Structure 1
Amino acid sequence: MRIIAGAFKGSRLVAPGGSNTRPTSDRVKESLFSMLDGYGVLKAANVLDLFAGSGGLGFEAMSRGAAEVDFVDSASASARAVEANAQKLGIDHSTRIHSSDVVSFLSSQHGPRQHASLQRQPEDHMGGSAHGGGLDEVQDGQVLETRTVRDEDEGRIFDLVFMDPPYPLGEDAVTQILGRLSRLLDMESIVVVERASRAPEPTMPAALEVFRSKSFGETALYFVQLRATSDEASEVAGVAGGVDAATADESA
């Protein structure tokens, strides 16, 4: 596994030993990051890499100009691999590694605002086997490395989120994770969800919507953002139109 572009182009990444991680292929990464470049979301971005595995997506983002990345994975082998990769690339000062279940991590974070749809969700809806989605048992998250001290009242906003859960993870569980994630986003944030192309399109919680999708063989990518109000929708449509027009010019 390697980084395919940017400051660390060609760097080989350590993979978690003996794990069942599913690295994103170079072909998919190339297309994914080309689209993200078009949206202008990478430069100086605060990135969240959920179900991180070796951290390939987060490190690719760092190579292309992201400022910092939080990596989250419940497997200790993944946490060790991410830590080794961060040290190898010399960017461990810009990374935080959370050896934690994704649900536990998201529950421990708070954003600057709460969406009404999230406030209506029961707190125990994600716990145990109630959702039947196959999530790991919620456990106390252990932060292995924290380089930046943050004001607890400040809240967190992530500009870019990668979410590549195991394909067997139930669709209801994916939807509920997205619901918890939505309070850590703003109107310019983008979430990329990777799923099996044979699986149905993820059902979005009330606060989110899919604005673009693309399939590559067995892999499907869904680009997700906060659902705009009527005023915000007009502004977003104008920006998206400009990006699409620029893409069309390049293709021509």
Structure 2
Amino acid sequence: MRIIGGSLKGLRLNPPKNLPVRPTTDLAKEALFNILQNQIEFEGIRVLDLFSGTGNISMEFASRGAEQVVSVDRSIHCVHYLKDTARQHGLTQIKVFKDDIFKYLQLETDQFDLIFADPPYDLNRIPEIPGIIFDKNLLLPGGLLIVEHQSMQNLSKHPTFVEQRQYGYSAFSFFKAPDVTDQQ
């Protein structure tokens, strides 16, 4: 696992083997960030990373100039690993919280430019995530939600769904908040 772009490009991450995670593969992450670099300006964005695990995605956004990255995971071991790694590399824009994601989302009121969710693939509540995020208005106008899930799962029924990209057994579903100009 490595950082593929930005100020920490090439940094290898070596999380402990006992973390309860299934990290996004380097291949899928590289494909995702190739898509994103053509859609958004990383510099200065606010990102919410749900089910952050090792912090692989959080650190990628921070390396590329995100102003703030809020990372949430329920595993205290993942939280400690990400906090320690972020501190070690001077990534002060990463704020890490230990919480159940669904409880966290019910209390969150800030808005973000991009929300990334990488839940455990066997979580039966994955289809609820877009609904909760859009009902709570957690994305800024034009903001993106990206949910990583098993490629056989279909999340296209939500009205803000844009597209799904598949990489082996993994897929990214993209959802877009209406832009101010879209509503006029």
The normalised TM-score by structure 2 is 0.90
**Partners of 2:122 and 2:155 in 1: how far apart?**
14
Deviation for aligned residue 1:103: 1.0
**1:181 to 2:133 alignment:** yes
CA offsets 1:16-49 (integer angstroms, 9 cap, x no match): 5512311111111111111111012422110110
Give the CA deviation at 1:174.
Answer: 2.1
| CA apart distance, 1:202 | 5.3
Establish whether residue 158 from structure 1 lines up as the match of residue 112 from structure 2. Answer: yes
2:160 matches 1:232:
no
Q: Which runs of 5+ in 2 are unaligned?
A: none
Alignment match, 2:95: 96
Q: What residue number does 1:106 align with?
A: 105
Larger Rg computed on CA atoms: 1
The change in CA–CA distance for 1:202 and 1:21 in structure 2 (over 3 A counts) is farther
Q: Give the whole-Å Cα distance in 2 for the aligned partners of 1:215 and 1:57.
A: 18
In the alignment, the residues of structure 1 paired with residue 154 and residue 177 of structure 2 have an alpha-carbon distance, to the nearest angstrom, of 20
Confirm or deny: 8 A CA contact 2:130 2:145 kept in the other structure.
Answer: no
Tell me what 1:210 maps to: 161
Distance 1:198 1:34 in 2: 23
Please tell me whether residue 85 in structure 1 is matched to residue 85 in structure 2: yes
Change (3 A) 1:176 1:210: same
Q: Is residue 222 from structure 1 mapped to residue 173 from structure 2 by the alignment?
A: yes
Q: What is the CA deviation profile of residues 163-191 of structure 1, one whole-angstrom value per residue up to 9, with x for unaligned ones?
A: 01000011xx2233322222111222111
> Which structure features the higher share of helix residues?
1
Sequence identity of aligned pairs in percent?
A: 31
Whole-angstrom CA distance in 2 between matches of 1:36 and 1:214:
12
Secondary structure (helix, strand or coil) at the match of 1:98 reads strand
Q: Does 1:34 align with 2:13?
A: no
1:74 touches 1:100 (CA, 8 Å); kept in 2? Answer: yes
Whether the aligned pair in 1 keeps the contact of 2:58 and 2:94 (CA below 8 Å) is no
Contact kept, 8 Å, 2:142 with 2:179, in 1: the verdict is: no
For residues 29 and 143 of structure 2, what CA distance do their matches in structure 1 show? Answer: 19
Give CA deviations for 1:85-114 in whole Å, capped at 9, x if unaligned: 1012111x212111000011111112xxxx
| Structure 1 Cα separation of the partners of residues 41 and 161 of structure 2 | 16
Are residues 29 and 218 of structure 1, via their aligned partners in 2, closer, same or farther at CA, if it must alter by over 3 Å? Answer: same
Where does residue 61 of structure 1 map in the other structure? Answer: 61
Number of aligned positions between the proteins: 182
> 2:127, 2:155 within 8 Å by CA — same for their partners in 1?
no
Q: Deviations over 1:208-231 (max 9, x none)?
A: 5111221111111111112569x6
Q: What RMSD in Å do the two structures reach over aligned CA positions?
A: 1.9
Q: Could you say which residue in structure 2 is the equivalent of 1:2?
A: 2
